[in-house]
Amino acid sequence: MKYILITTFFLLSGLLLANESKLCQKCHPIIYSEYYQSSHKNASTYNNPIHKAMWDKHPKNEKGYTCAKCHSPSDIKSVQTGELTNNSIQKDEAISCVFCHTIKTIEEGNFSNINVSTGKKKEFFTAEKGKKGKAKYETVTSWFGLVKESKNSPYHTIDYSNENYYTGNVCMGCHSHTNNEHSFDITMLDAVIDEKDTNTCVTCHMPQVMGTKVTINETKTHAYHGIAGIYHKSEKMGMYIDFKLFKNTNNFVVNVINKSNHAFFGQAFRQGILKAEISRNGKIIELEPFVFERILGKDGKEVMPWNANMALKDTLVYAKREVVFKEVLLDGDNLKLTLGIKMISKDGLKKLGLKDNNELTKFRVLKTQKFNF
């Protein structure tokens, strides 16, 4: 872990200034407003109550705040020293625009991967089909000079040539794996980027939405920077989930099929919940929900993530998960399946010492589908 912190510091040192992302708002107001509500902007202990509770309970040592590499990489001092202070970077741009758009490549690491930055303050990577190489600001004239059109940015160079931004591999510095000191993956995203993948981190979590991406040259759509998922647009994630239903003589089976490139619901204390509701003869029958979760342990007992070396329970959805409901479906029945997620379980709230928080334990719908018999 010490190697990761030192390496990351030297790769990123001198890159960022306080409130640098605010400058991006001038030309990218819609994107900035989305970013400001996103999990990236709110990743630090000062904005994310679950992460804060985890860190408060984490055993402290001379390494200090070792989570900065991914939770607040824009705070260079924190990454370098492990010191965690209440400053504007932590609160307003823990993972800044510049940080994400200057990641050149990803180095594989034992504990987690490493983001390698260009260190360039005015040259940013992005992805747009049909464009290649670096684009600099220029003014194009037509109609004998009567019409002038500005192209690209007068403030920075745009580099369209980094393949990592097309495949989604740019996200793998923080979203591949997180191993504790026992070499045990505590997040179990199990994320893998394959060149044959139709769906990537970008297509799923940064879909094209209405609104111009920049004020200089208006566009119809832009990549959503609020990061679609648990916090925003959760129901949009339903398009990457399929239900297959099998009716038997004494029960029915639901196969939950995962069309993404990572496991569902792997973070500590997180829960996925599949609800089944049958409408029969004017009455509603609510079946016992199935819970998808991964409970971490050591020596056969549940422990905090940093102490874990095994999974006591693993009902995550990898490629597919079969769920059996002990109820017979009859002719005329209407079945409604609802798959949702909770940021943290009620048991997790208790273990982390968090007070009852309806927002954190809110059931967020991912997919709903009805079946008639």
Average model confidence (pLDDT) for the chain?
Answer: 89
Residue 6 has pLDDT above 60, yes or no: no
Collapsing DSSP to helix, strand or coil, 76 comes out as: helix
Q: How confident is the model at residue 136 (pLDDT cuts 50, 70, 90)?
A: confident
Is residue 10 over pLDDT 70? no
**pLDDT higher than threshold 80 for residue 143:** no
pLDDT at 30 over 60: yes
Local confidence band at 121 (pLDDT 50, 70, 90 cut-offs): confident
How does pLDDT run across 257-290, given as a tens digit for each residue? 999 989 999 999 999 999 999 999 999 999 999 9
Q: What is the pLDDT of residues 207-236, one digit of tens each?
A: 999 999 999 888 999 999 999 999 999 999
State the pLDDT at residue 153.
81
Question: What pLDDT shows up at residue 8?
Answer: 40
Q: What pLDDT shows up at residue 150?
A: 66
**What does the pLDDT read at residue 130?**
85
**pLDDT cut 90: percent of the chain above it:** 76
Mean pLDDT on 237-254: 96
How many of the other CB atoms lie within 10 Å of CB of 149? Answer: 11
- The amino acid present at 81, given as its one-letter code, is T
Tell me the C-alpha distance between 73 and 90, whole Å: 9
pLDDT value of residue 370: 97
pTM score > 0.85 for this model? yes
The tens digit of pLDDT for each residue in 64-117 reads: 999 999 999 999 999 999 999 999 999 999 999 999 999 999 999 989 999 999
Binning pLDDT at 50, 70 and 90, where does residue 195 land?
A: low
Comparing 132 with 53, which gets the higher pLDDT? 53
pLDDT at 137: 67
Would you call 237 helix, strand, or coil by DSSP?
helix
**In the predicted structure, residue 11 carries a pLDDT above the cut 60:** no
**Rounded average pLDDT over 238-252:** 96
The share of the chain scoring above pLDDT 70, in percent, equals 90
| Class level of CATH domain 234-372 | mainly beta
Render the burial of 64-87: b for 16+ CB within 10 Å, e for the rest.
ebbbbbbbbbbbbebbbebebeee
Residue 7, pLDDT score: 40
pLDDT, average across residues 182-190: 88
Burial environment of residue 231 by CB neighbours within 10 A (0 to 12, 13 to 18, 19 or more): middle
Q: Where are the domains of the chain?
A: 2-223, 234-372
Residue 161's pLDDT is 94
pLDDT for 15 beyond 50: no
Q: Which long-range contacts (CB under 8 A, 24 or more apart) does 230-235 make?
A: 230/39, 230/341, 230/343, 230/364, 231/37, 231/38, 231/39, 232/37, 232/38, 233/207, 234/340, 234/341, 234/364, 234/365, 234/366, 235/365, 235/366, 235/367
| pLDDT tier at 14, thresholds 50, 70, 90 | very low
